[in-house]
Amino acid sequence: MGCASSATDSSASLSARDSVPFRIPKSGSLTHLSELSVSLCLALSREERRLVTESWNILKKNSQAVGKRVFLRIFEIRPQIKNLFDFRDEWGDALLKHPQFIAHAQRFMTVIGEVVSSLSTNAGLPTVATPRLHALGQSHTRHKGFTPDYFNVFYKSMCLIWSQELNERYRDATRHAWETLMEYVIEQMRDGYNSGTPCHTPVHN
């Protein structure tokens, strides 16, 4: 699906593109995680990885604000998601300054940063970012009222905010590369959620 969307698009249902093509059997195993990572590596060219890294360097300069905007858009698209948080009754400046809201937004951006960094490290996705995403998705099983469909809202919100933040830089190859990476992120979180068991690789919060 395209990410450059209008306000009307933000409330529309996600397209078939949101069914990420990286799901492979043997869910929960490190072999499974490695196979998924290889699939992503094959899907992203060296040039696309460069575009992702360069555009991320722009986004991370104001990472906390960008993370906040992602969550504000999530709450706009699906207001009931806000009810899952302790800051459910906070609005406006009170919400933006709430310690848990700030921490959640920053944590989200930190995870995305780990994913981007892992594209160019020797360790790569299987041992760095993928287990982290899997465990993060699994942790959402502890939140009463959370449903796997909410992961799609995260994807939609990321696309919209990335488009707004990067403007002209978010076109064609860059957009496609980020969509592929975002789909991978969300699918790994969904996979962890559905597995119901933590990844065996240690995760540091």
> Which domains are seen in the chain, by residue range?
63-205 (1.10.490.10)
Residues of the chain with pLDDT under 70: 1-42, 121-128, 197-205
What is the crossing angle of helices 172-195 and 30-43, to 10°? 170
Single pTM value for the model: 0.73
Residue type at 165 in one-letter notation: E
Helices (H) and strands (E) in the chain, counts: 9, 0
Residue 155 structure tokens? 């994807």
Q: Given this model, what pLDDT does residue 41 score? A: 52
Q: Given this model, what pLDDT does residue 39 score? A: 53
Question: In this structure, are residues 14 and 85 in contact, taking their beta carbons and an 8 Å threshold?
Answer: no
